[in-house]
Structure 1
Amino acid sequence: MSDSKQARLAVDIGGTFTDIVLETSPGQHITGKYLTTHGAPEQAVLEGTRDLLAKSGVSPSQIRLVVHGTTLATNALIERKGAKTALISTAGFRDSLEMAYEHRFEVSDLYMVRPAPLVPRNLRLEVDERLAADGSVLRELDETSVRSLVPVLKEQAVEALAVCLLHSYVNGAHEKRVRDILRTELPDLKITLSHEICPEIREFERGSTVCANAYVQPIMESYLRRLASGLKAGGIDAQVMLMMSSGGLTSLDIACQQPIKLVESGPAGGAVLAADIARKLDLDAAIAFDMGGTTAKLVLIDKGLPHHSRHLEVARAYRFLRGSGMPLRVPVIDLVEIGAGGGSIARVDDLGRVEVGPESAGSEPGPACYGRGGTNPTVTDADLIMGKIDPETFAGGMITLDIEGARKALTGKLGGKVQLDARTSAIAIAEVVDENMANAARVHATDNGAELEGRTMIAFGGAAPMHAARIAQKLGIDTVVVPRGAGVGSAHGFLLAPVSYEAVRTRLLPLRSFDVDRARSIFAEMREEAASFVRLGVEDDAPLEERLSVYIRYRGQGHEVQVRLPSNVFEGNAEEIIKSLFEVEYRNHFGRIIPKMEIECLTWALTLSAETPLSAEKASGSGGGTAAPRRSQTLVDLASMEDNRADVYLRADLGIGATVKGPAIIGEAETNTMVPVGFTATIDSYGNLILQNARA
C-alpha cells in the first residue's frame, strides 16, 4: 500500500449527532460532531466528511478505509418503521412469535400490554413440512404449499420475508428450498433464512431474530448502498466496512444481508475503545460509560475484554425488565442501554415526580438551548444551567447555546408544575438521570455476578464526561478515565476493531459421555464458515486469531452460561477441563454449583478475528504543572447542592502531567469534563484525563 493512501475514516451515526473521525496517519486524528439528518442519514456523513477533509487538507483519494456504525437498524425496530414483512413457518407454529415465553413479564401490572410482533397474524404463513430435533426429515416439504403462498405475498405487497421452520438450526435444507421456489416467482423479494441468521435452539428467539433481520434489511441495504455511492461520488474509492454489535468489523455486502448484527454497533465501538484503554492502563476491572445525545450505555470490562453475549432485547416496554422487549439472538457486547442522553426530555408525572427519558429531542429540533425550535426541557438544558457546559467550546463553536431558552424550558414545562425555579429544576433532572444510570449499572452488575466497587470508570460520548464523576460517587467508584477524543469515543473505537465473524451451532453433547471427535468436527465446520466471511475483508495470508466458547447448563435447566475454552482444550482431558471451567463460571453467577448433576454442552461458538489495528502509543513531549484557566463560571456541586466558582480550562492547553483541582470545567470541541469538588484531574502519558476522588 502506498503512503499516499493511508488515511482512515470512522463514522458513528447517533440519534442526535453524527460523529466522524479522520485518521490522517497512525495516531493523528481530526474529529467533528454534526447534527444527524434523520430523513437521509448519509447527508450528515457526506457533509461532515467534506468538512473534515477540507480542514485537514487530506484528499478523498488518500482514504483507504471507511468504518461505519449506525443506530438506523435499532431505530427502525423501536419506531416500527421497517419493511412490510411476512413470516413462513412450519404448519401449526405460526403463532409461536406471538405466544413468546407464555408468561407475563410484569405480573403486578394489571394493564400490562405485550409488544405486538413485527409480523401481524395475517402475514404469518405456513408450509407443510416437519423436521425432528436431530434434523432428520419426518415429513418432506410440500412444494405446492410453498407455491400457493405466492399470490398472498403479491397481493399483500410484502417487501421482506422471514423463513423460520421448526428445527432448521440443525438442517436448513427445507428453508433453502423454500427460498429457491419463491425467488423463481418473486425475484425482487428480500428473503432471510433463520438457519443462516440464528442457527440456534429456541423457536421464539430464533423467529424473533429472523423477523427483525427481514424487517430492517430493505431500509438498511438501501441506506448503505446510498452511502457507498455518495462516498464514491465524493472521490473516496475505499473499502467500506461496518461495525457489528460483537465488536468486530464486517464487509458492506454481509452487512446488507445480515443488518440485525449491526443493532448495537455504536455502543460496541465504545466498548472496543474502553477495552483498549483498560489494557494500556493495566485495569483488571473497569466499566465503560457511554452517554450520547439519546441514550446511555454501560459495559463491564474484565482483564481487558468486554463482556459478550448472544442475547439482547431491544424496544423494551418496561425499563430494565427482561422479557418486555424484542429478543435477538446475535453476537453482541453485553451492555445495558437506557434512554438517558443529553437530549432526553424531562417531564412531571401524575404524582408530581420528575421523570427523564426515554423520549429524546434528538437533533430535530434538539434541546431548547440549541435554538432550533425545541421547547422541552432536556438533560443538556439542565447541564447548561448548572454550569457543566462551557458555551464557548460547545460543539466546536458550531452551535451557539441559548441560555435563556434553556431557562424558559425548565421553568415553563417543568418547574412551573411543581413550583421549582430553573436551577432547582436542573438539579432535579441531573439527579434523576444520574441515579437512573447508576441503578442501571447496579442491576447490570448483579445480573453478571460482578462488583462495581473498585472498578475504574471509562467515560466517553458527548455527555458522559459531564456526568461520570457524579455517577462514580453514587457507585463508590474513585477513578474516572476520560480518553482523548472522548466526545467521539465510539468512532475512535471503530478504528481499533478487527475484522471478525462469529459462527455458532446448537449441538447437544452431554459431558458425561463427551464425544471429542464430534466437538472437533463442530468447530471445524464453524471455522470454515467464519473464515469464508473474514477473508472478504482481509488478505488471504493475514493471520487470524481464534476464540472458542460453549454455552453449558445442568440437565433440566432452561438457560446456559457461557464458558470460554482454551485453544488446546482437546489436547488434554477435554471433559475435565470443560467441567472445571463451567463450575467456576457457574459459581461466579450463582454462588454455588450443583454436585452430581449431569452437565450438558448445548451451543458452540467460534470467533475468527484478523489482527487488531494498532492504537496510539504514549504521547511524546513533557508537561507538568497546571495551565492557566481561560475563564470561570458558576458550577453547581450536586453532592452538596451548593454553587461554586469553577475555573474553565481548555483540554488542548493541558500537557502531560498537568493537574487540575475541582471544581473545574475542562472544555473541548466534542464534550466538556466536569471535575467536582473533591476530585483532581491529571493528564496521563497517553493523553487520557484521569479524575481521582480525593477520598481514595
Structure 2
Amino acid sequence: MAIDIGGTFTDTVLMDEAMRLCASCKVPTTPANPVEGAVQGALAALEQSGADWSGITAFIHGTTLATNALIEKRGAVVATVTTAGFRDILEIAYERRYSQYAIDIEKPDLLVARHRAFTIGGRMTASGEELKPLDEAAVPELAARIRASGAGAVAVCLLHAYANPEHEQRLAELLEQHLPDISVSLSHEVSPEAREFDRLCTTVANASVRPLMAGYLAAFEAEFSALGLQCPILMMTAGGGMTTLETASRLPVRLVESGPAGGAILAARIAAETGETDVLSFDMGGTTAKLCLIDRGRPQMARRFEIARAARFIRGSGMPVRIPVIEMIEIGAGGGSVAAVDGLGRVTVGPESAGSDPGPAGFGRGGSHPTVTDADILQGYIDPVTFAEGRLTVEPDLSSDALDMHVGQPLGCPAESAATAVSEIVDEAMAGAGRMHAVESGKDLSSRLMIAFGGNGPLHASRVARRAGVRRILIPRDPGVGSAVGFLFAPVSFEIIRSQYARLDTIDLAAVNALFDDMLTEAISIVRAGAPEGEIVQRRVAYMRYQGQGHEIEVELGTSPLQASDLDRIRQAFDDEYRRQFGRTVPGMTIEILNWGLTVSAGNAPPPERADDAPESQCTPKGQRRIWCNVSRTWAEAGVYDRVALPAGSRIDGPALITEAQTTTFVSADFSACTDTSGNIWMTAKEERSP
C-alpha cells in the first residue's frame, strides 16, 4: 500500500506482489488532521480489493506536510547556536542581492530572528583539529537564554562540525540536560558539508519541522497499527528513495518534496519500460504542477534547492536547503489554483489554491473563487457525473458564476471567455516553466517524450505540450494516483554527502577510503532497518572542480575502494563531464575535491520488457460532449471514450476525451492517441504517427 497526501487530494494505491494494481482511491485531503484522509483512502482501497490489513507486507507514505509547514511558517520557533563570532551567518547570507536593481527587494524569511541567534565559545579547524575547547561553563546561561526566547527547537551549527562533530555532540548532551523538552538538530547529522550558510539554513529547516513531523509520524503509525497494520511504515524522501520512520523523524527535512519525488520515480520507471531515454515528467495535481527532466532512465538530481522563494523563478530569493533531492521545477498551477484579475487588468492564476476545503467553486463546498478546475468544467472537459468517481458533486452553474464575477465582469467578457483566459494563462505558465527548466539545464524539450499524470496532468498535457514544443505524450495507467504508484517502485535507500578537501595530485587515498567506510556503515544500517534482506547497491561520487572555482560537478567513482591506478580514470571522467557541461576543459589547472557522496540502496526489480505493439484500429466513442476546442477556438463536438473499454491498438483522433475513474485525458484537435499493450495512451502531434 502507498499513500500520498497532497495539498488537495490524498491518493492511495494497493498492489499485489506482481506489481499489478488491485485498487486505487482519491479522497479530499483533510488539512486539520491529514491522518484522517489517509485512513479514509486506505479503508476504501481495502474495500475495493477485498483485502485486509494482515495481507499488507509493505507500506510507503509520502506527504507535503513538511513542505507546507516551512512555506506557511507553521513549524516550531527556532533558536540557533553558532560558534562565537559567527552569530550573523543568516543575516550575512551570500553577501549579495538576488535582484540587483530591485529597490523594494524582499529578503528571504530564514525563520530565525536575530534575537534568537546565540553563540558559544570553542573552535575547530577545517581539518577537524580542536583549536579552542568548547566553553561548557557557558551552557547553563545559554540554555536559560534559549528558554527565555520562547524557542521550541534549537539548530546547532558550529564551525567545521562536518570535519569533527565532537563539539556539536557534547553541546547537544549538555543542552538536553538543561532543556529536555526542546528538540535539538545538529548540522553534522543534517547536512555534513562545508559552506556554513547553507548548512545552517538546512539545520534550521530541520529543527523547525522536527517537532511537528515527529508528532505527526507517531500519530500516523499509531493510527494504522490500531487498524491492524503489521508491517513497518517507510517514508518517501526528496531524493527518490525510502527510509524508516525513525530516520524520517530525526531528519524530516529530507521529506520535503517527497510526494513529487514519487512522480519522478514513476516517470523514470515508465521510461525504462518503454525504452525512452529523454523524458519530461509532468505532474499536475490540485495545488501545484511539477516538471522534471529524466535522462537515460534517471531523474535529474540536485544537492540544493530553495523553499518559499520571495520572487518566483529567481534563484537566491528563498531559503536554501542542502539535501539530496530530485531536481524539478514546481509552480502554483494546479486544478485548485485560484484565478483573479489584478490591478492592471491581467488574468492571474495561483499560486494561491482553494485546496480541498472549500475547493473549487463548482464543487459546491462553499468555495466562491474560480479555479483552473472551474475553467475546465465550463469548457466541457470534465463530466460532472463521473468526476472523482462520483465522490464529489460538480455544479457547472457555480463555476460559471464564480468565473463571471471574478474574471468575466472585470474584463467585460462572458464566463466562457473568462474560462478560456484562465486556461490559456495556466497552460502557458506550465509550458514556460518547462522551457525555463530545460534551458537552465542546457537541454531541449522538443525531442523529449512527455509523461503526464496527476489528477489534472492528462487533462492539460496536450495543451501544455503544444506550447512547450513537445510532440509526443504518454499517459500511463492509473495516472490520477501516479505519485503514489511511484512510491512502490522506489528503493529503500539513503544518501550521505560529506566534506573532506583533497587535491587530485596529492590525494590521501587511505583517508578517503576510511571516510567512505564510515559513510557505508552508517548508510547500510539505515537501509537494512527498512530492507533487512536482499542485495545492497552502492553508488560513489566525488564533487570536483578546478582550484579556485566556487561550485563542483559530480563525477562517478565506481563502487570499490580507490587505488592509485584509478586517478587517471577519475581525471578523465572529470574532463568529460566538465566538457559536456561547459563545452571545453581548462588545461593545466589543479583539480580539487570538496565533497564525497555515497548512495546505498536495496536492489529493485528491473522493469519488464516492453511488449509488442498491437495493430492500430479506429474505435467508436461511447458518446459526444460539447467542448471548447482550443485549436480552432470554437465550440466543437468531442468523442467520449471509456479508457477501461479501449482494446490495445485503439486509435483516436482529437478532439476527444478519454475518461477513467480519477481523471480524464484530453486529446486536443492537433493530436491523435493510440493505446499500447501495456495500457498506456500515446498521444502524438498529427503530423507524426504514434509508436
Normalising to structure 1: TM-score of the pair? 0.96
Give the drift of 1:678.
2.4
How do residues 193-592 of structure 1 correspond to structure 2 at under 5 angstroms?
193-539=186-532, 541-567=533-559, 570=562, 573-592=565-584
Work out which of the residue numbers 670, 675, 680 in structure 2 matches 1:683: 675
User: Mean Cα displacement is larger for which, 274-283 or 115-124?
Assistant: 115-124
Alpha-carbon distance between aligned partners in 2 of 1:452 and 1:383, rounded to the nearest angstrom: 26
Amino acid in the other structure paired with 2:122: E
How do residues 645-656 of structure 1 correspond to structure 2 at under 5 angstroms?
645-656=637-648
Give the drift of 1:219.
0.7
User: Is the contact made by 1:70 and 1:265 (CA closer than 8 Å) also made in structure 2?
Assistant: yes
SS at match of 2:214: helix
Give the drift of 1:391.
2.5
Alpha-carbon distance between aligned partners in 1 of 2:561 and 2:668, rounded to the nearest angstrom: 49
Amino acid in the other structure paired with 1:91: A
User: Is the contact made by 2:273 and 2:608 (CA closer than 8 Å) also made in structure 1?
Assistant: no
SS at match of 2:311: coil
Give the drift of 1:372.
0.6
User: Mean Cα displacement is larger for which, 459-468 or 605-614?
Assistant: 605-614
Deviations 1:645-673 (A, max 9, x none): 10111111112222211110111111111
User: Is the contact made by 1:530 and 1:608 (CA closer than 8 Å) also made in structure 2?
Assistant: yes
Give the drift of 1:413.
0.4
Deviations 1:17-74 (A, max 9, x none): 0011112442132101110000110000012211221222111221122100000000
Q: Structure 2 vs 1, CA of residues 555 and 637 (structure 1 numbering), >3 Å: closer, same or farther?
A: farther
User: Is the contact made by 1:78 and 1:314 (CA closer than 8 Å) also made in structure 2?
Assistant: yes
Give the drift of 1:596.
2.1
Alpha-carbon distance between aligned partners in 1 of 2:652 and 2:564, rounded to the nearest angstrom: 54
Identity of aligned residues (%): 45
Amino acid in the other structure paired with 2:677: S
Amino acid in the other structure paired with 1:630: K
User: Mean Cα displacement is larger for which, 64-73 or 148-157?
Assistant: 148-157
- Aligned twin of 1:156: 149
Amino acid in the other structure paired with 2:125: A
Alpha-carbon distance between aligned partners in 2 of 1:194 and 1:572, rounded to the nearest angstrom: 33
Give the drift of 1:475.
1.9
Q: Structure 2 vs 1, CA of residues 36 and 111 (structure 1 numbering), >3 Å: closer, same or farther?
A: same
User: Is the contact made by 1:449 and 1:588 (CA closer than 8 Å) also made in structure 2?
Assistant: no
Deviations 1:201-234 (A, max 9, x none): 1111100000000100111111111111110111
Give the drift of 1:398.
0.8
User: Is the contact made by 1:15 and 1:362 (CA closer than 8 Å) also made in structure 2?
Assistant: yes
SS at match of 1:417: helix
Alpha-carbon distance between aligned partners in 2 of 1:127 and 1:619, rounded to the nearest angstrom: 64
Q: Structure 2 vs 1, CA of residues 570 and 250 (structure 1 numbering), >3 Å: closer, same or farther?
A: same
Alpha-carbon distance between aligned partners in 1 of 2:342 and 2:584, rounded to the nearest angstrom: 43
Alpha-carbon distance between aligned partners in 1 of 2:619 and 2:23, rounded to the nearest angstrom: 23
Give the drift of 1:627.
4.3
Q: Does residue 30 in structure 1 map to residue 23 in structure 2?
A: yes
User: Is the contact made by 1:390 and 1:665 (CA closer than 8 Å) also made in structure 2?
Assistant: no
Alpha-carbon distance between aligned partners in 1 of 2:150 and 2:194, rounded to the nearest angstrom: 31
Give the drift of 1:683.
1.3
User: Mean Cα displacement is larger for which, 459-468 or 576-585?
Assistant: 576-585
Amino acid in the other structure paired with 2:249: C
User: Is the contact made by 1:495 and 1:613 (CA closer than 8 Å) also made in structure 2?
Assistant: no
Alpha-carbon distance between aligned partners in 2 of 1:206 and 1:652, rounded to the nearest angstrom: 50
Alpha-carbon distance between aligned partners in 2 of 1:423 and 1:200, rounded to the nearest angstrom: 54
RMSD: 1.8
User: Is the contact made by 1:623 and 1:655 (CA closer than 8 Å) also made in structure 2?
Assistant: no
Alpha-carbon distance between aligned partners in 2 of 1:668 and 1:108, rounded to the nearest angstrom: 50
Q: Does residue 191 in structure 1 map to residue 184 in structure 2?
A: yes
Work out which of the residue numbers 101, 108, 126 in structure 2 matches 1:133: 126
Alpha-carbon distance between aligned partners in 2 of 1:428 and 1:98, rounded to the nearest angstrom: 42
Deviations 1:294-345 (A, max 9, x none): 0111111011111111101111111111000110000101111111111111
Q: Structure 2 vs 1, CA of residues 100 and 111 (structure 1 numbering), >3 Å: closer, same or farther?
A: same
Alpha-carbon distance between aligned partners in 2 of 1:464 and 1:152, rounded to the nearest angstrom: 50
How do residues 13-92 of structure 1 correspond to structure 2 at under 5 angstroms?
13-26=5-18, 27-92=20-85
SS at match of 1:536: helix
Give the drift of 1:626.
4.4
Alpha-carbon distance between aligned partners in 2 of 1:229 and 1:640, rounded to the nearest angstrom: 55
Deviations 1:380-406 (A, max 9, x none): 111111222232321011112110111
Give the drift of 1:630.
2.4
User: Is the contact made by 2:613 and 2:676 (CA closer than 8 Å) also made in structure 1?
Assistant: no
User: Mean Cα displacement is larger for which, 405-414 or 469-478?
Assistant: 469-478
- Aligned twin of 1:598: 590
Alpha-carbon distance between aligned partners in 2 of 1:370 and 1:346, rounded to the nearest angstrom: 16
